[in-house]
A and B are shown apart, each in its own frame.
Chain A
Amino acid sequence: EAGVVQSPRYKIIEKKQPVAFWCNPISGHNTLYWYRQNLGQGPELLIRYENEEAVDDSQLPKDRFSAERLKGVDSTLKIQPAELGDSAVYLCASSLWVRGRDTEAFFGQGTRLTVV
């Protein structure tokens, strides 16, 4: 069974440029997460989807970040314009979430973004 697939693995862009990350979750998983991990820190949630609905986006900087999950499967995360402080690893994860039953989240390998 394929795991969570993210692309690209690495991206270097100049500040003020746009950038997009793509995530394909595990088949059948209804919950998708985007996390940002700064160097030496734990991951922090940016947005969480249940199917195609964004149910938790309170930590997404909406002035420059946007995300979508069309048809409740693949997802893209976009930054426009990028700033130097956006340099981080962006992790996508998916899980099968059913209220009252907890399951682990499976993570992709992440996209390492460097803004110069």
Chain B
Amino acid sequence: AQKITQTQPGMFVQEKEAVTLDCTYDTSDPSYGLFWYKQPSSGEMIFLIYQGSYDQQNATEGRYSLNFQKARKSANLVISASQLGDSAMYFCAMREADRGSTLGRLYFGRGTQLTVWP
């Protein structure tokens, strides 16, 4: 079974608008972390935001916020006031904190290609 599912292969948004990138995850562990990374065409993976499974509040980092719905096992990324430089591939990832030999393994989804147009 897929640990991380990103159902949107591509998303388009106009500059200055907000956009939501979907992510659902699958785990039976009570303790886990959720991450979003941005990968521009240059190839590097850039960390954006983190949400712990026990965090009560949704994480925010500047224009990025994570809409964490634990019961639905979703961790959607919201980008407010999109900029042209936001055009990139976005990956959702999960790390299970207490599972045996895979302790610390970071599972990635297939990604969503975001295109911001002027």
By a CB distance below 8 angstroms, the chain A residues around B95 are: 102
Q: Which A residues form the contact surface with B (CB < 8 A)?
A: 31, 33, 40-45, 48, 50, 55-56, 58, 89, 91, 93, 97, 99-100, 102, 104-110, 112
Contact residue range for chain B? 20 to 34
The answer to whether A56 touches B45 (Cβ under 8 A) is no
The answer to whether B111 touches A56 (Cβ under 8 A) is no
Seed contacts A40-B111, A43-B108, A102-B50; 11 additional CB < 8 Å A-B pairs: A41-B110, A42-B108, A45-B106, A55-B101, A58-B101, A93-B45, A97-B104, A100-B97, A104-B47, A110-B43, A110-B44
Cβ of B103 under 8 Å from chain A: yes
B107 to chain A, nearest CB (A): 8
Cβ of B57 under 8 Å from chain A: no
By a CB distance below 8 angstroms, the chain A residues around B47 are: 104-106
The answer to whether B108 touches A44 (Cβ under 8 A) is yes
Cβ of B56 under 8 Å from chain A: no
By a CB distance below 8 angstroms, the chain A residues around B50 are: 102, 104
Interface residues in B68-118 by Cβ distance below 8 A to A read 91, 93, 95, 97, 101-111
Chain B 31-63 interface mask (CB, 8 Å, partner A; 1/0): 001010100001111110010100000000000
